[in-house]
């Protein structure tokens, strides 16, 4: 290298000073553009796949897989260890063991009358509560639909509002009302109707009140949605054809709101059957419901295989109503889509 061509020569430096930015300007954006184009192309080609796969994988890992794990563990043997069940990986070695264990936990549930009774009791309580929700919720929903515009929106807001406050605290509110020294007993004693407190809290009655109170909005909203869709001229048509308002209700309004009734009832019935907080806080030790038993099996007894078996059995009981609900929802949405087309 001669001195003249020294890389540090002023000319060279000047050249670099002029050339480099030019190069940078010309080349780098090219690279960047190339990269963004690649990303863009990739996204253009695959964004649908990405959009589908992210939630799909999430649900697969955190919803479907856990469900099968519960199923597997419900077949395992309980151990006094951490975790308190026989390791899953050992099963495959002995097929016969697997079959025996399958019977073990579920046979235990079936033989112990307590579990069977608890299941039946849960179904009874949630069934009756659902009926009460429907009886109370139907006229309320109808009243809201019939209300004039500003009042209608406020009423609807008032129905939704409790959703945004704490469920737990709303259940807790009834503890204060139903307790031996609670609001109702205080009023009754003050009015001279009773002399000593009536047992309200920690009873089946309290559980009914709690479920109806907590789940009433779940009943009202689907009812409202189905009534809102009702064409009020149909009522007028019925009336015009000689139907008394009561007859109009029975022959037109009621049949046309059946989808709302079913959706609302399932939305109350399904979660109420597995309810844990309400029977625990308001029912105390006196009311047996399956959600509470499951929680107890898992938390207090630390018998996880039995807890898993209880969960599977609960799911078996609820699978029919859940499928029914899904069927209705998909039917509704496809009808809605049809309407939009």
Binders of other proteins among residues 136 to 175 (CB under 8 A) are: 136-137, 139-140, 142-144, 146-147, 155, 157-159, 161-170, 172-175
Query: Does residue 28 touch other proteins according to CB under 8 A?
Result: no
Whether residue 71 contacts residue 319, with contact meaning beta carbons closer than 8 Å, is answered with: no
Residues 272-291 that bind other proteins (CB under 8 A): 273-277, 280-281, 291
> Interacting stretch for other proteins, rule CB under 8 A, among 11-19, 69-77, 94-102, 113-121?
69-77
Q: Which of 114, 64, 155, 129 is nearest to 268 (CA)?
A: 129
CB of 270 to other proteins, least distance (A): 5
> Interacting stretch for other proteins, rule CB under 8 A, among 26-34, 66-74, 108-116, 188-196?
66-74
**Closer CB to other proteins, residue 26 or residue 192?**
192
User: CA-to-CA distance for 230 and 237, rounded, in angstroms?
Assistant: 13
CB of 170 to other proteins, least distance (A): 7
Query: Does residue 311 touch other proteins according to CB under 8 A?
Result: yes
User: CA-to-CA distance for 201 and 282, rounded, in angstroms?
Assistant: 6
Whether residue 137 contacts residue 219, with contact meaning beta carbons closer than 8 Å, is answered with: yes
H/E element holding 234?
helix 232-240
Query: Does residue 66 touch other proteins according to CB under 8 A?
Result: yes
Pick the binder of other proteins from 32, 51, 100, 228 (CB under 8 A).
51
**Closer CB to other proteins, residue 24 or residue 167?**
167
Within 13 Å and on the Cβ side, how many CA atoms surround 110? 7
**Closer CB to other proteins, residue 204 or residue 291?**
291
CB of 93 to other proteins, least distance (A): 17
**Closer CB to other proteins, residue 198 or residue 256?**
256
Query: Does residue 120 touch other proteins according to CB under 8 A?
Result: no
Q: Which of 148, 329, 147, 83 is nearest to 222 (CA)?
A: 329
Which 3 state secondary structure label does DSSP give 309? helix
Query: How far is the first Cα of the chain from the last one, in angstroms, to the nearest whole number?
Result: 78
Pull the structure tokens for residue 180: 């031996």
CB of 103 to other proteins, least distance (A): 21
Query: Does residue 233 touch other proteins according to CB under 8 A?
Result: yes
Q: Which residues are within 8 A (CB) of 216 and not within 5 positions of it... i.e. 6 or more apart?
A: 133, 136, 137, 140
Query: Does residue 271 touch other proteins according to CB under 8 A?
Result: yes
């Amino acid at each position: 290298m001669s001195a003249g061509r020294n890389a540090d020569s002023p000319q060279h430096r000047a050249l670099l000073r002029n050339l480099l930015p030019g190069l940078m300007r010309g080349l780098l954006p090219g690279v960047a553009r190339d990269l963004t184009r690649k990303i863009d192309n990739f996204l253009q080609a695959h964004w649908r796949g990405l959009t589908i796969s992210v939630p799909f994988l999430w649900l697969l890992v955190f919803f479907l897989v856990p469900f099968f794990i519960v199923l597997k563990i419900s077949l395992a043997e309980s151990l006094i260890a951490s975790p308190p069940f026989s390791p899953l990986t050992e099963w495959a070695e002995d097929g016969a063991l697997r079959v025996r264990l399958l019977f073990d936990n579920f046979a235990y549930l079936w033989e112990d009358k307590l579990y069977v009774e608890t299941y039946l009791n849960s179904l009874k309580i949630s069934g009756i509560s659902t009926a009460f929700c429907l009886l109370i919720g139907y006229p309320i929903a109808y009243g809201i639909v019939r209300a004039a515009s500003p009042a209608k929106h406020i009423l609807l807001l008032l129905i939704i509002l409790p959703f945004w406050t704490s469920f737990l605290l709303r259940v807790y509110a009834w503890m204060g009302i139903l307790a031996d020294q609670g609001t109702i007993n205080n009023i009754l004693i003050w009015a001279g109707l009773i002399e000593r407190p009536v047992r309200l809290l920690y009873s089946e009655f309290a559980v009914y009140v709690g479920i109806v109170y907590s789940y009433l909005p779940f009943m009202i909203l689907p009812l409202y949605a189905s009534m809102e869709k009702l064409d009020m001229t149909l009522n007028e048509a019925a009336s015009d054809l000689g139907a008394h308002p009561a007859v109009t209700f029975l022959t037109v309004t009621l049949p046309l709101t059946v989808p709302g009734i079913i959706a609302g009832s399932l939305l109350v019935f399904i979660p109420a059957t597995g309810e844990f907080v309400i029977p625990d806080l308001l029912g105390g030790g006196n009311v047996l419901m399956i959600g509470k038993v499951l929680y107890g099996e898992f938390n207090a007894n630390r018998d996880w295989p039995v807890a898993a078996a209880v969960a599977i059995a609960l799911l078996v009981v609820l699978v029919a109503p859940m499928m029914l609900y899904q069927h209705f929802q998909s039917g509704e949405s496809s009808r809605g889509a049809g309407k939009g087309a």
